[in-house]
Each structure stands twice: as C-alpha cells, then as structure tokens.
Amino acid sequence: MIHELRIYETSPGGLGALNEQFGSSTIKLFEKHGIKNFGYWTELIGTSNRLVYIVGFEDLAHRERAWDSFRQDPERQERMRAVAQQSGPPLVTRITNVILAPTAYAPRAPKGGNVWVYELRKYDALPGHLPALNERFANTTTRLFEKHGIHNIGYWTEEVGVSNRLDYMVAYESLGMRDQVWGAFGQDPEWQEATRKSREAGRPVVSQITNTILRPTDYSPLR
C-alpha cells in the first residue's frame, strides 16, 4: 500500500465549491476507479483556500492505472467540459502532491473521532538519521502519544519526494486539548530521559519541523 498526499489551492472564495464537488461526485468516482479515500481536510489554522487530502493505492503501478481510469471517466470528462465553459478564474490554481510509503509502525486501520482536530507534521531528519528517527517513533514516541491523548493516525516516509523526511498525522479531541496533551507529553519522564540521552550522546536527529492544523470535511472518511 502507498498513499498520496495532495493539496489543492483554490482561487479566492472557491473552496466551498471545490468541497461540494468532492463531496457530491469526486470521492465516489475515486472509489469507482480503485482510488481509496483516506481523509479530507481544510486548514483550521493556516491558508483558507486549501483542500488537503490523502488517497491510497496498492502500489505505484496501480496508482498510474487508477488515475488514468479516473481521468477517462465520462462523468468526470463531462464535468471538466462544463467547468471549461464557465467564465472567471479557474477553481483550482495549484496542485501539489507527494507519494508516501507507510512506516512499519503506522496504524493499519486508523479511526478518527467526531469533530476531532488533526495535525499534519513533517520532520526533516539530518542526513543519515531517518532510520534513527523512525526507531524512536516506533519504540517510544507513538506509545507516549497515545498515553497522553495524542491519537496516532498515520506515519509515512516519502516514496517520491524528500528522502530524509518523516510525514505523520495525529489527532486531538479538540483544539483546546492540543496544547494540554503536548505539554503532558513533553513532561513525561520517559520522554525527558530519552531526549536527555540523545543530547548527551551529541546525536541531534531532526533539523526542521513544519506543521499544519486541519479540520475534517463533512465527507471525509476520517472524522
């Protein structure tokens, strides 16, 4: 199994129309053509015109076949013709994507909760340190996350993208809970001991962290 993280940026005011299109038609066509819907989100804190979503495929060859089949679907082609005839700016102005490979410790069937808040985090490891970062998450971090109410949703390395990056998604029961649970995690004696040993050994692992706070769309399988 591989996943694809895709981000669609819309023209101003276009996010509502894009969500309506996905919710009423696109996700059904995805499933019809073997593209597995994982989750769909908009940014709770950040850019107001982005749709962030993750879909799944059996492998890279299946991905190529599925996208080609989807693009050739008569319903999709008819919709694209209708969009082309409309005046005004294009609905989607930019698309970015990354091909992801789930880690061995990633949840196999993650479950969300009603009105949960999600966070997509990207850790850039120092050269040669991605295995150590994955080991730390597999043996310590994910377990402590769950202990403190940080729900594990997905963990990936980039199959096609940045070779030293860990992409992962976690969830919280509310935005207010986010600061509370991260504070408890940071004060956990086991976590503090692990970070102390890392500092003493002179082994920094992560060079950069970026994150995005997300809320699920009404049609997202993960909610």
Distances (CA, A) of 87 to 47, 49, 133, 148: 25, 20, 49, 51
Residue range 110-128: average pLDDT? 92
Q: What percent of the chain has pLDDT over 70?
A: 97
Question: pLDDT value at position 203?
Answer: 65
For residue 95, the model assigns a pLDDT of 97
**All structural domains of the chain:** 2-100 (3.30.70.100), 102-216 (3.30.70.100)
Give yes or no for residue 52 having a pLDDT over 90: yes
Position 94 pLDDT exceeds 90: yes
Which distant-in-sequence residues (6+ apart) come within 8 Å of 189 by Cβ?
none
Per-residue pLDDT of 186-214, as tens digits, reads 999 999 998 887 766 656 688 899 999 99
pLDDT-derived band at 83 (thresholds 50, 70, 90) equals: confident
pLDDT of residue 89: 81
Q: Write the DSSP string, 66-94.
A: HHHHHHT-HHHHHHHHHHHHS-SS-SEEE
What local confidence, expressed as pLDDT, does residue 202 receive? Answer: 58
pLDDT at 113: 83
Average pLDDT over residues 155-172: 94
Residue pLDDT, tens place only, 35-47: 999 999 999 987 8
Look up residue 136 and give its DSSP letter.
Answer: H
Report DSSP state, residue 205. -
Which has more pLDDT, 54 or 200? Answer: 54
Which is it for strands 2-10 and 206-216: parallel, antiparallel or unpaired? unpaired
Strand 206-216 and strand 50-57: pairing?
unpaired
Across the range 163-180, mean pLDDT stands at: 95
Tell me, what amino acid is at 168? Y
Mean pLDDT of 115-127: 94
What are the φ and ψ backbone dihedral angles of 48, each rounded to 5 degrees? -85, 0
Contacts of residue 2, Cβ cutoff 8 Å, sequence gap at least 6: 56, 57, 58, 59, 60, 63, 99, 100, 101, 102, 159
Confidence of residue 65 (pLDDT cuts 50, 70, 90): very high
- Say what the pLDDT of residue 200 is: 62
pLDDT digits (tens, 9 = 90+) for 10-28: 999 999 999 999 999 999 9
CB proximity list for 126: less than 8 A, separation 6 or greater: 164, 204, 205, 206, 207
Q: In whole numbers, what is the pLDDT of the chain averaged over residues?
A: 93
